[in-house]
Structure 1
Amino acid sequence: MTLPTLQDAIDQAGSPIRLMWKPNAPRWSPPVVPPEFVGWREEQKASYETVALSDLCHHMTDLFIEGPDALRLLSDYSVNNYDDFAIGQAKQCVVVTEEGYLVGDTILTRNGAEKFNLVGVPSSLAWIRHHGATGDYDVSFSLDPDSATRKGGDPVLFRYQLQGPRALQLVEQAFGGPLPKTKFFHSAPVTLGGRTFHALRHGMAGQPGYEFIGQWKDGEFVKQALLEAGESFGLVQVGAWAYATNTLESGWIPIPTPGIYTAPELREYRESLPALSFDGMNALRGSFFSENIEDYYTTPYELGYGRLISFNHDFVGRQALEQARKHTTRERVTLVLDPEEARRVWGADLELRETMLRCRVEADDQVVGMTFDTAPMVLRGTVLSLALIDKKYATPGTEVTFVWGEHPGPGTDPDADLGFDRIKATVQIAPYNEYARTGYRAND
């Protein structure tokens, strides 16, 4: 029996947006990890005040790539510069279509001369895997899905993220001294209790920290060692709810809509993806509704990834990006919602769980952008939202309106008056966190 493809699903639904628009769909939450350990507020604060431990073992997909043509494949299908890409180094790997629309971004690490690991949202992993398998490349692939879709068994790797102002002190306590001096987004082999694994210098909440990555069989020992060492540093385990908020201040947009649903030349690619793939199931919802799914597409320049694009090599989408850098009309910003109005909508305790709704941003009686990620931030005393808005309104301090609600979708006018809550907001820079803007690469 032949399983339906993404293209089959689009054809049956009548359009990509009719397939993808799912009002009131369940909120995304990392699998396996409990929603809270000691309460999401305390867990969120720990990343900024003491030290937080996040379990990243279960919610991301790993693609292991090996072979003499692995680097050529990555160079052909991503925008990044691979000159001097060292073993142990990591990159934010950005993948685009021929039209220059973002497919996705993931973390790429080089584990050997011909060994690489892509980890993150499945969209760009599927893209790389497809073109590696159908093109003239001597490569092999091994896929480890996230724990929500893996058909039994444990993950291949453990990943524990330690971050916060006391993270480096905790690391010294656990390892009996400082780790090897390591540049941002580089890793070093480390040993703890006879187990050898890697420490990647990285953080997600605009704070210093590490990700510890190794074979699954060693994961529980490493986790317990970090928890024991953390008792004297105020370590807090982070649950799924708080973890999902820690990208807001660092300015990273986790799940932009991949630009794969409409181009005729990508029909074969859509036919290679199952209807029940991530790209077929990832719901769109919120107050920003358009019948044209291309209104949800993004480019690397809009998301702040321009510094990652290297024109020193040919890659799919190069020509489109050379044009896009001259004509980008939207900019990534942080919206700071008015605290009183936010409490009017979500209550005194701002009981809004992290949400990836696409919400309207309005100014001068018109739609000027949309949001991607919205959540309450305890230490800010209000709600922050990452958005793309017209450059005319992107200057910090500009006042706009955030529109909260869920449009029913096809059959209702996109601009219909549906009684949505409107909240005053002020545009600020992204990343909002100063350390994320200035400190991540201070050790490069």
Structure 2
Amino acid sequence: MVRSVQDIVDDNPDLVNYFKYQTGGYASASLIDILRPFIPAEFTNWREEQRAWHEAAVMFDQSHHMSVTYIKGPDAKAMLNYLSPSTFSNLSTDRGKQYFVANPDGKHIGDCVLHYYGDDEGFELISGNPLQSWVRYHCQTGEYNVEARHDPSSPLGKGHRRTKYRFQLEGPNARQILDDVCVGGMPELQFFRTAFVTIAGCRVHILRHGMAGHTGAEISGPWDEMDTVRDAILKAGEKLGLRRGGTWAYYSATLENGWIPTPFPAIYTSDAMKAYREWLPAASLEGQMHVAGSYYGEQIEDYYWDAWSLGYDKFVKFDHDFIGRAALEKMKPQPHRVKRLLVWNEDDVMKVMASQFGDGPIYKAIDMPLAFYGLPQADDVRSTDGRHVGVSQWCGYTVNEHRMMSLCGIDEASAAPGTEVVITWGERNGGAPNRQTERHEQTTIRATVALTPADALSQGRVRATL
């Protein structure tokens, strides 16, 4: 009998302890390792690959790590609209959508990018395994006339041939490269608008994207045309400094674009979610998450996120009925945590790094460019007078900012840029009994609250750290 996530819940009254100390869970190193057969950690070196998206251009290969679910049918639009606070009032075939789902209590389950290709072809849900699991559950168990086809990531697919390739082109020279490689040039597109273009004789779908204020694009098309399109882009980019980006650079890019990957999905409690947990295999991502870091919640709900803490509140629209609507309406006027960047104090970072040498206590090592060692990371953030004010998650370094940074959800009262806070770094009891973490001592790292670089640009600021 296949074990389910509900079996995990039934067997472990202390879910915090289970997800903190289970072995084999995901961490930063395992993300890189499971993709090595498909995408190298570095094509050249991660520092220059990071520089490329600020100084020239970088192309990331997203063809292998993101699962995709394709949905079509007479009820597809109604079902997807009911599952999400995102509005479908502006749904069209020429724009992408930031799509996310919440549980009946209004807590976040997952998010993805959604494309709509018309009633005949239907919808494409890209990335976000917890969201895709929730959507497929409703396809299979709800009274909807829909067809769903799951295209798992290459590591999970076990030899399965992917449907589409997917690349991301980013940097100040990305627009010129796209102009040169697209027949007739790159069309003028607003952010998150889409179009079809022709590259090297192939029909290519492009999503106007970008993480540093440049005209970047996500590029996709049939799997069999991947090599043709990739080679054409690389050739066009030779004279413009285009580099290929490996997984180290790719996963560190989110520190600058401000997206918080893989928040802990709010599925493990509530009787209303029990049937879903019974459907969801224990071998899923949701059953294998490893919560690392210094934050220890009293209950598993303490690790849940909501739309405000992830910066998705602007996408919540009460123009339709959806799961979690009543809860989100009650939450709207209340104080919230909001998404911010934490810029780590350089002296405290150097203290941790220096502890790896000589005598004295050894603190939890800070790896570069990705410092998180769980999926998700959850580090305690406190005010300078000792109050718990937030949780730091995705942490690491980019050479463009010259700093260690982390993305976090933080109380509004402590969220003003320039506010000083303190991160606790490392595990209780020196990491024991966590066999995936080396022995160490806890310490603290001072940090300054800032806007993410993407939010800073949108507000006319030059750098997030100013």
TM-score band, normalised by shorter chain: over 0.9
Aligned to 2:170: 163
Question: CA-to-partner distance for each residue in 1:381-438, whole Å, 9 max, x for gaps?
Answer: 11111111222211111111122113468999xxxxx831211111112355533567
Q: Is 1:288 aligned to 2:295, yes or no?
A: yes
Letter in 2 for 1:112: G
| Percent of aligned positions that are identical | 35
Question: How many angstroms apart in 1 are the aligned matches of 2:320 and 2:150?
Answer: 27
Moved more, 365-374 or 342-351: 342-351
Superposition RMSD on alpha carbons, in Å?
A: 2.3
Question: How many angstroms apart in 1 are the aligned matches of 2:225 and 2:18?
Answer: 42
Question: How many angstroms apart in 1 are the aligned matches of 2:346 and 2:220?
Answer: 39
Aligned mate of 2:379, from 359, 369, 372: 359
Aligned to 2:182: 175
Q: Is 1:427 aligned to 2:449, yes or no?
A: yes
Letter in 1 for 2:291: L
Task: Give the superposition deviation at 1:294.
Answer: 0.5
Letter in 1 for 2:69: L
Could you state the TM-score of these two structures normalised by the residue count of structure 2?
A: 0.88
Q: Using a 3 Å threshold, how does the CA distance of structure 1 residues 241 and 226 change in structure 2: closer, same or farther?
A: same
Q: Using a 3 Å threshold, how does the CA distance of structure 1 residues 155 and 380 change in structure 2: closer, same or farther?
A: same
Question: CA-to-partner distance for each residue in 1:257-310, whole Å, 9 max, x for gaps?
Answer: 111101111111100000011111121111111241111101102211111011
User: Which ranges of structure 2 fall in alignment gaps of 5 or more residues?
Assistant: 357-364, 435-439, 462-466
State the SS of the aligned residue for 1:262: coil
Question: How many angstroms apart in 1 are the aligned matches of 2:132 and 2:86?
Answer: 15
Question: How many angstroms apart in 2 are the aligned matches of 1:20 and 1:263?
Answer: 18
Any conservation in 2 of the 1:405–1:421 contact (CA below 8 Å)? yes
Aligned to 2:362: none
Aligned to 2:360: none
Moved more, 159-168 or 420-429: 420-429
Aligned to 2:392: 371
Letter in 2 for 1:359: D
Moved more, 266-275 or 344-353: 344-353
Question: How many angstroms apart in 2 are the aligned matches of 1:261 and 1:4?
Answer: 15
Task: Give the superposition deviation at 1:204.
Answer: 3.6
Aligned to 1:442: none
State the SS of the aligned residue for 1:352: coil
Aligned to 1:111: 117
Task: Give the superposition deviation at 1:350.
Answer: 7.3
Question: CA-to-partner distance for each residue in 1:116-163, whole Å, 9 max, x for gaps?
Answer: 000112101111111122112110000011111102132111000000
Aligned mate of 2:79, from 64, 73, 77: 73
Q: Using a 3 Å threshold, how does the CA distance of structure 1 residues 242 and 346 change in structure 2: closer, same or farther?
A: farther
Q: Is 1:139 aligned to 2:146, yes or no?
A: yes
Question: CA-to-partner distance for each residue in 1:91-123, whole Å, 9 max, x for gaps?
Answer: 010100110000111101001225000011210
Any conservation in 2 of the 1:23–1:285 contact (CA below 8 Å)? no
- Deviating runs (4+, > 3 A) in structure 1? 22-26, 204-207, 346-351, 407-412, 430-439
Question: How many angstroms apart in 1 are the aligned matches of 2:340 and 2:453?
Answer: 8
Any conservation in 2 of the 1:206–1:249 contact (CA below 8 Å)? no
Question: How many angstroms apart in 2 are the aligned matches of 1:265 and 1:313?
Answer: 21
Could you state the TM-score of these two structures normalised by the residue count of structure 1?
A: 0.92
Question: How many angstroms apart in 2 are the aligned matches of 1:299 and 1:22?
Answer: 25
Work out the number of aligned pairs and report it: 433
Aligned to 2:13: 14
Letter in 1 for 2:424: V
Letter in 2 for 1:3: V
Q: Is 1:209 aligned to 2:230, yes or no?
A: no
Question: How many angstroms apart in 2 are the aligned matches of 1:172 and 1:151?
Answer: 37
Letter in 1 for 2:413: K
Q: Is 1:185 aligned to 2:206, yes or no?
A: no
Aligned to 1:5: 4
Any conservation in 1 of the 2:106–2:306 contact (CA below 8 Å)? yes
Question: How many angstroms apart in 2 are the aligned matches of 1:301 and 1:331?
Answer: 5
State the SS of the aligned residue for 1:189: strand
Letter in 1 for 2:404: V
Q: Using a 3 Å threshold, how does the CA distance of structure 1 residues 50 and 341 change in structure 2: closer, same or farther?
A: same
Question: How many angstroms apart in 2 are the aligned matches of 1:100 and 1:351?
Answer: 35
